[in-house]
Structure 1
Amino acid sequence: DCRRRIRPEDMGDAAPRGGRAPRRRNRGRGRGRGLPSGGGEAEMPDVVTPDEHEPQPLVSATAGKPLADGQTALTSNTRFRDLPLMAETQRAIAQGFGYEFCSPVQEAAIPVALQGYDLLARAKTGTGKTLAFLIPSIERVVRLGLAGPGQCGLLILSPTRELTAQTAHEAKVLTSHFAPTLGLGVQVMIGGTNVKSETTTLVSRGSAAIMIATPGRLEAHLADTSGFRGRFGALRMLVFDEADQLLDMGFKPTIDKILRAIPPPASRQTLLFSATVPSTIKQIAAYALRPGDAQRHIDCVGTEHDATADALDQYYVVCELPQLLPTMFALLSAQAAQPNAKVIVFFVTARMTQFFAELCNDAGLAVLEIHSRKSQAQREKTSKQFRDAQSAILFSSDVSARGLDYPDVTFVLQVGCASSREQYVHRTGRSARAGKTGTGLLLLCDFETFFLNELSALPVQNWVACGGQGATNEMPAVLASALGRVGANAGTGEEVDRGAQAYQAWLGYYNGLQRKLRWSPEELVAMANRFAILIGLPEPPELRAQTVGKMGLRGTPGLRVERGGGGGGGGGG
């Protein structure tokens, strides 16, 4: 039955099975939820606090009604022209973006933020969150006025370089119709760029009115750049974009330092946007937002079941470890043969992304790659190349899992279990965006089926039971030949390092999952050594003693440790 969800008896199903991709099924659309905005401008009106008020349904006007010209299934019935926005903003929305109707999160968030409320907003991926915070933030900065040249009025914290660049582009479009004399410049601050040049500019010119930054680079300037803290003395707006990922990536201590360095909540307005709201987000909200009736909560997701895109079909397929490579290659070859196929493949680490991209390209399956081991310039070039392509396959680590808007992605393949259910949702959400349909497939080894229990609330179906291509033992000749070149027969070149790095990264990632896998250290190492042989290495590579110690695997049988602690298989990750 194609419609069934995950069942315990499905989890071990690794039998090879042919067939076409599953057919799409019909599905009703979810509804968002929001809190009424109330009235007032800047001054806080008398309203009940979020704790006392149960959010009311934000009913999309498209439900059960014919769509007006310009509407899609992801828009509300609210037109941007009906919002109290400045003429310059209206022109930017109409001419720069070509939008007429708000999305549900924009319909809910923009009026609330325009009135001066702090906001905690939860919304699905691909539903217009960026404009939902950019539009009111820029409007508020213009209305309240800037303190003067070189002063930052709007600060946006973003988790990744790519998302920062994308947000900056949209901010520039939104400010393009305002008079240059207002000084609404947009400045990007990200790691991987020349910090000395950036520092020189900041010292001589000050900061732009709108600053979009990754936390690490911003913290560095707050600590080391002369006079930089003073640029935030009249900060009007603070925005956390993809707040849950900011915390998932370990930025909590950095965010704490940033919040201590800028004006307190009482003197600014704060917007916090996230696709999920775990307890850690609520902790941030507790001291980053103003308390009580100064804040509003908006939920345009509702139940967890609806957190993935409504138009997205989700499947899983299970294989044994020796079947992983041929199964992945067969699935991607089938996708590549489809017209206008645009595919993103997520791997669990950057080094594995790097290795498998090199392997598939050598085997004649053309793929792009983007991950943290690439320079910022390379990542931007690859991102644009994939965004502009009609058909392409992109291999990625989690740098592409959040926020980035790649149009028309038809298929998302996840190779290996994600680090969390939330990360699975964000990865899968790269498809079925902006009203389009899409398919997500999770490829698991049999020892990873515990992860299916974490997805039990989501409509994830058995790919094979729905007629999809199952696991296979058949290794194509081109893939076997590529393994020989990239791995065992590569001599002493960089390719050998790639394999050693992939091995170390695999070992490190699954070492972190030992408790869930219920493996002993000996079982972990034995499986990692099997992986090394499967990716074409003549034997498991040696690791530095320091690396082994950090993993807590010192003295584990089966590990090959370098004598003297020098050299090694390269970085993990």
Structure 2
Amino acid sequence: MFKASIQRQVRLGNVARQFSTVSLMRNSRSEHLAILRQTPSQPALRRLAPRYAFSHLYSTQSASAQANREGEFAPVSSAPVTRFSELSRLGVNTRLIEALTRGMGYDAMTEVQAMAINPALKGSDMVAQAKTGTGKTLAFLVPVFQRVLMDQPDLADIRNRRRSSSENIRAIILSPTRELAEQIGVEARKLAKNTGIVVQTAVGGTRKREALQKMWREGCDVLVATPGRLNDLLSDPGARVAAPKLQAFVLDEADRMLDVGFSDEIRDIQNSLPSKNEVERQTLLFSATIPRDVVHLAKSMVRPDNFQFVQTIKEDDVATHERVPQHLVAVQGFENLFPTILDIANKAMAAKDSELPFKAIVFFSNTATVQFAYEVFRQTELFARGSGVDIFGIHSKLTQSQRTRSADYFRRAKSAVLFSSDVTARGMDFPNVTDVIQVGLPPDRDQYIHRVGRTGRAGNSGKGWLILAQEEVPEARHRLPGLPIKPNETIESAKHVLGQTPASPDVSKFFSQLSEAYSRTHKSSFRAVYLAFLGQKFGRYYRIDDAVNLLNNWCLRGMGWTEQPAVSPKVAHNRNLTRTRGVRIGIDVDEEPLPSRFGGNNDFPYRLRRGDNNFGGRDDNFGGRGGSYGGRSGSYGGRSGGYGGRSSNYGGRNDNSNRGRGRSSGNSFEDRFSSRADTGSRGHQRASF
């Protein structure tokens, strides 16, 4: 019944949309808005607008129950509210409205806000499908805050803020990443500014004791958390964190949480909270896609007699990855990767027809390369101090305060470059990103698409770049079918062969600057990159022999080393490298131990400019919780690893390659729903490049 109900609502959602406010964008007026604002005495409006816009999204079971509950939560409105200033018609507290309109400067709602806030204020559980970057944070914050104020009216007075307690949390919001949780926390505090509601965040990478002391001292009404840290707090009696009267429970990016292996934590969290039979709470699930796992999760969490499905992704929507120009730059070898990045950035900054200043995110698939790239590029002329282009770095090894600081600086910067692992690939709102540069093979098609989705947002133009060695291109064609990626031959640095072909002055300058930067970078930084690349996901058309050859050429020809980094006998044995040609097995005598160099908080020899961040955090590359090798979310062998892990991209439990048992390995989305996902259709069989 639940599955059939969801499927029926997906179909009806497309019919309902033509009478709703889905065509409304912020600061715009449409004919639909004019129709919805006609007087409700008109028969056509009474029949179509409220009924089709919202009521038809409810399941058959929930319709009658909803009718009995509407008066309990909000007055009945003659037409859906589409402006924040009109929320008083739905009974929203005036202090929340003032914070939205005066404090935060919001006027017209986006489509997901209009479609979700109206019914959520009536108390229904909700499963909402919405793209990232569409304003869904406020779509769940407004009804959650209103519910808290209705349950505890004295919190409307800011003077009652000190009465909150960490052992009586009223609402919990879960996010898959620390960055997204912090971003939600910022918006929540703005909304709570004129009230007594206390918002706290609890994420990994921060000191648990300090966060707890803050919660004990200030109290907590709304908690924004990552699943791992919240489960830790709820299961620890000494933490004194509880929610016996929980009123609202929100999962943001529910599909992403299941992707990164948080299903066990979510189950444990539910067991730690009062059951739905004991305390009636509202559950809101927001997801960019609705795969099979999300359906199962929703079924276990929402009330089947009082929920509704909200879909804001239209079937004729053109996804970001289909409208943003995407360029494939095939390089002669790995030694050309960094010069090619400089070449792309130099051309973009010199372009006079660009609508926005150059602002780019450079994605690498492992933490070690993010660290190495930052250390190298900060020593080049293009990104040196005073060049006018700030550079930042974000990855799992940084402490949460460092990651948050870098994200905030990059978000506010007009022209900047962010070197990042996939921690920023989804959910993060970075305005005016003009270019997304992906270096090396993406783990899979979905991850490529999510990365590209960081540009071309809010109606802006953007570009995507994929930089690959020639040997990686066949595997990329296999992993990235049906994407509008076009070969680009305009980047001279990609085609230059060191020591063989003549180079232009600019290309020579790029290679020369990078050669000097390599010489000033400690060798252990590149050793970590070398090992991380050997632990990546390989495939049918790209094998470890290819990677070893490319890495050795980068090291010997591009960096001027006399020999490639050694691989310890233990690592070589564990990775089946003992017979791989080109691998040097042994121990480098000048190798600095990784724990002392990368494992601490303040021992990295430089800090991020302006953000004052230093590399080296809790989740290091080897054996850490979020490490690139052997960690819980590692890229090789970890729980959510890239090769052989529980949610692995290759051969794991949720295998994308179909090599493993594949619980979620293929077309779960198409099997369940006919609606469009944020990641687009998977029906293509061939790559376009």
**Fold-level similarity (TM above 0.5):** yes
Which residue in the other structure is 1:472 paired with? Answer: 495
Partner secondary structure for residue 55 of structure 1: helix
What is aligned with 2:414? 390
Instruction: State how far apart, in whole Å, the 1-side matches of 2:485 and 2:309 are.
Output: 33
CA distance in 1, matches of 2:451, 2:548: 28
Write the distance in 2 (CA, Å) between the matches of 1:303 and 1:119.
Answer: 21
Match of 2:13 in 1: 56
Q: Is the 8 A contact 1:343 1:410 kept in 2?
A: yes
Q: 1:114 to 1:517 in 2, by over 3 A?
A: farther
Change (3 A) 1:382 1:505: same
Q: Deviations over 1:551-571 (max 9, x none)?
A: 454554433333599976673
Mean Cα deviation higher: 554-563 or 352-361: 554-563
Choose from 350, 353, 358 the match for 2:375.
Answer: 358
Distance 1:327 1:265, change over 3 A: farther
**Does residue 1:191 correspond to 2:204, yes or no?**
yes
Q: Which has the higher contact order (CA 8 A, sep 6+)?
A: 1
With normalisation by structure 1, the TM-score equals: 0.79
In 2, are the aligned partners of 1:106 and 1:128 still within 8 Å (CA)? yes
Distance of aligned partners of 1:353 and 1:563 in 2 relative to their CA distance in 1, 3 Å threshold: closer
CA distance in 2, matches of 1:287, 1:61: 29
Cα displacement (A) at 1:525: 3.4
Residue pairs, 1:319-338, within 5 angstroms: 319-322=331-334, 323-338=336-351
User: Residue 28 of structure 1 aligns with which residue?
Assistant: none
Question: What is the match of residue 55 of structure 2?
Answer: none
Return 83-92 or 128-137, whichever deviates more.
Answer: 83-92
Distance 1:134-1:362 versus aligned 2 partners, 3 A rule: same
Give the CA deviation at 1:185.
Answer: 0.1
- Report what 1:169 is aligned to: 186
1:451 matches 2:462? no
Deviations, residues 475-501 of structure 1 (Å, cap 9, x unaligned): 8344434444444x44xxx62111111
Query: What is the CA distance between 1:88 and its match in structure 2?
Result: 1.9
Residue 75 of structure 2 aligns with which residue? none
CA distance in 1, matches of 2:212, 2:22: 51
Alpha-carbon distance change, 103 to 263 in structure 1, aligned in 2, over 3 angstroms: same
Match of 2:325, SS state, is strand
Deviations along 1:306-338, one digit per CA (max 9) or x if unpaired, are: 342786433433334344333222112212334
Check the 8 A contact 2:380/2:517 in 1, yes or no.
no
Q: Does 1:91 align with 2:122?
A: no
Partner of 1:259: 270
More displaced 10-residue stretch of structure 1: 279-288 or 397-406: 279-288
Of stretches 346-355 and 75-84 in structure 1, the one that deviates more from structure 2 is: 75-84
Deviation at 1:187, TM superposition (A): 0.3
Q: Does 1:101 align with 2:93?
A: no
Q: Does 2:128 align with 1:115?
A: no
Question: CA contact under 8 A between 2:441 and 2:468: conserved in structure 1?
Answer: yes
SS at match of 2:320: coil
Is the aligned partner of 1:529 residue 2:552? yes
More displaced stretch, 302-311 vs 554-563 = 302-311
Q: Which runs of 5+ in 1 are unaligned?
A: 1-47
TM-score by length of 2: 0.66
Confirm or deny: 8 A CA contact 2:474 2:541 kept in the other structure.
Answer: no
Check conservation: 1:72, 1:435, Cα contact below 8 A. no
Is the Cα–Cα contact under 8 Å of residues 357 and 415 in structure 2 kept in the other structure? yes
Q: Which residue of 2 aligns with 1:543?
A: 567
Change in 2 beyond 3 A, CA 1:526/1:206: same
Q: What is the CA deviation profile of residues 333-370 of structure 1, one whole-angstrom value per residue up to 9, with x for unaligned ones?
A: 21233462211111111211111122222222213222
Structure index of larger Rg: 2
Return the letter of the residue paired with 2:362: V
Deviation track 1:489-531 (CA, whole Å, cap 9, x = no partner) reads: 44xxx6211111111112212xx2x234452x44443344344
Secondary structure of 1:476 counterpart: helix
Which amino acid in the other structure matches residue 290 of structure 2? V
Report how many residues are paired: 506
The two structures, once aligned, show a CA RMSD in angstroms of 3.4
Select the residue among 64, 82, 85 that pairs with 1:81.
85
1:397 and 1:220, CA in 2 relative to 1: closer, same or farther beyond 3 A? same
Structure 2 residue aligned with 1:505: 532
Aligned counterpart in structure 2 of residue 368 of structure 1, from 392, 397, 400: 392
1-structure distance, mates of 2:29, 2:182: 27
**1: distance between equivalents of 2:491 and 2:238?**
59
Call closer, same or farther: CA 1:248–1:528 in 2, change over 3 Å: farther
Whole-angstrom CA distance in 2 between matches of 1:251 and 1:272: 15
Cα distance change, pair 527–167 in 1 and its aligned pair in 2 (3 A):
same
Of residues 208-217 and 411-420 in structure 1, the stretch that sits farther from structure 2 once superposed is: 411-420
